[in-house]
Amino acid sequence: MEYLTFTPDGEAARLIASAYPQGAKAYMRSFGCQQNVNDGERIKGVLASMGYMICDSEEEADLIVFNTCAVREHAEQRVLGNIGALKPLKERKRGLMIAICGCMVQQEAVVEKLRKSYPYVDIVFGPNAIDTLPGLIARRLREKKRVLLPPSQRTDIVEALPARRESAFKAFIPIMYGCDNFCSYCIVPYVRGRERSRRPADVLAEFRSLVEQGYRDITLLGQNVNSYGKGLEQPVDFGDLLTMLDAVPGDYRLRFMTSHPKDATPKMIDIIAGSRHISHHLHLPVQSGSDRILREMNRKYTRADYLKLIAYAKEKMPDVSFTSDILVGFPGETEEDFEDTLSLVTEVGYMQLFTFIYSKRSGTRAASLPDPVSYREKTQRIARLKERQEACVKTLLQGLTGTVQRVLVEEKSRFKGRLCGRMDNNCMVEFLPGPNMKNAVGEYQNVRITGFRNSVLLGAAEDLPTK
């Protein structure tokens, strides 16, 4: 494994300065998962290192970057619609550059489509080419030709990419890139490439620096964080990394996502339970409750394995909360398979579910499977799943009513006068602030849970902010 270090490109910065004497502005928008949000923050950091001012609207921008997602067809359609909508702006504004990056453009067919049908797209680069962006922009300015990189399978890791973080108290740290799991429905291993881990010392240094800057909610990112460590010189696994980070002193919470049930171990749960800073929350995507479907999906665990892990976590951390992803309508999913998913949802008791209807991704193994169930039937299944989830979550919320929780305040609620915050176990609560809480965002606060509306906990601040 090769590790490189990003260095700012002085020549690119000079070219930008002379091409845009009034100052250049860049607008960046990310679609898709948190990996992409984090990549987006790095893209903004790299652009700022070239002298771009980051702006909030497409209209003001001299450079528009769309950081795309390929996980479902709907996600791709949305991006293409948004790219299409840029055409009039491009015609109106001289010097405007449009760059498309992210997972979508790691597919040959998409790059071809952009080449042929979207001639106003100037630059295309994949998620593992963010460090080369200054060079690509410089080339576009110098050569007056489009720069459309083909999909690339680079396997090195670039450290020290600058980041323009969206929040002053919440931050992401990628600990690994790519995915080797090849779940049969999923495009991610094809577009993000092979799994590779950052060195523990690099993760620790970034983590320390965030804690020192006052970040309070730090999330470790990866498609499968608990297989962290494969291929490292030092024999370090995810549990070791958690232990190392948790030892850093400070008033912060540590979270991670996503962990794959096949690699989640009792050791990991023990470490979380015994930690000072790690949130008592597991986002453990189950995808299906049917063993037959799990096998077809290549998930490498059974329903019983999964439930055993959940039971262990509940035993070790009575306050633990679970969230999950569920894929409805995988090719050949029968009514019986689906009912297995419903019963699993009841058995686990999830605080939140992210539910998706299966979307065929060309190149994946599942794409060649017969898929006899109609889309209509699948939408009915997903509606039934959501109904079941709503019924189950009520019991959990009821159980929390009357308790006092330490909450990290995240933002103002859309309901006037209220604030939203996150509890130690990751649950969100909407609450009435106390009289002296004008600038509470980013601070901890004790909140008494008074009830709930739909699946949102409601509460009221207890008098004193906590320390």
Which spans of this chain sit near ligand F3S (rule: CB under 6 A)?
32-33, 35-36, 69-71, 103, 188, 191-192
Q: Which tokens in the block code for residue 252?
A: 């912060």
Question: Among 131, 79, 115, 122, which residue's Cα sits nearest to residue 98?
Answer: 122
State in angstroms the smallest separation of the CB of 227 from ligand SF4: 9
Residue 70 touches which member of ligand F3S, ligand SAH, ligand SF4, none, C-beta under 5-8 Å by kind: ligand F3S
Nearest to 454 by CA among 374, 412, 393: 393
Q: Which is nearer to ligand SF4, 296 or 424 (CB)?
A: 296
The least CB distance from residue 190 to ligand SF4, in Å, is: 9
191 binds, among ligand SF4, ligand SAH, ligand F3S, none (CB under 5 to 8 A by kind): ligand F3S
Contact criterion met (CB below 8 Å) for 199 and 240: no
Contact call for residues 382 and 352 (beta carbons, < 8 A): no
Contact track, ligand SF4, 177-196, x by CB under 6 A: --x-xxx--x-xx-------
User: What does the block give as tokens for 137?
Assistant: 């922009």
**What is the footprint of ligand SAH within residues 59-78 (CB under 6 A)?**
71-72
| 229 lies in the site for ligand SAH, by CB under 6 A | no
Chain positions 28 to 67 lying near ligand SF4, rule: CB under 6 A, are none
The one of ligand F3S, ligand SAH, ligand SF4, none whose footprint includes residue 356, by CB under 5 to 8 A per kind, is ligand SAH
Which one of ligand SF4, ligand F3S, ligand SAH, none interacts with residue 182, CB within 5 to 8 A by kind? ligand SF4
Nearer Cβ to ligand SAH (357/428) = 357
Question: What tokens appear for 77 in the block?
Answer: 């359609």
Q: Which stretch binds ligand SAH (CB under 6 A): 104-112, 118-126, 183-191, 242-250?
A: 183-191
Site for ligand SF4 (CB under 6 A): which residue of 223, 279, 290, 341?
223
Contact present, 253 and 218 (Cβ < 8 Å): yes
Answer whether 134's CB lies under 8 Å from 46's CB.
Answer: yes
Phi and psi, residue 64, nearest 5° = -115, 125
The DSSP 8-state label assigned to residue 465 in this structure reads P
SS3 state at 407: strand
- Residue 441: CB atoms within 10 A of its CB come to 17
| C-alpha distance from residue 159 to each of 3, 131, 234, 407 (Å) | 7, 9, 18, 33
Minimum distance from residue 182 beta carbon to ligand SF4 (Å): 6
* Closest to 177 measured CA to CA, from 364, 48, 1: 1
Residue 70 vs 245, nearer CB to ligand SAH: 70
CB atoms within 10 A of CB 107: 20
Residues of the shown chain interacting with ligand SAH in the complex, contacts defined by CB under 6 A = 71-72, 185-186, 188, 223-224, 258, 260, 285, 287, 325, 327, 356, 358-359, 361
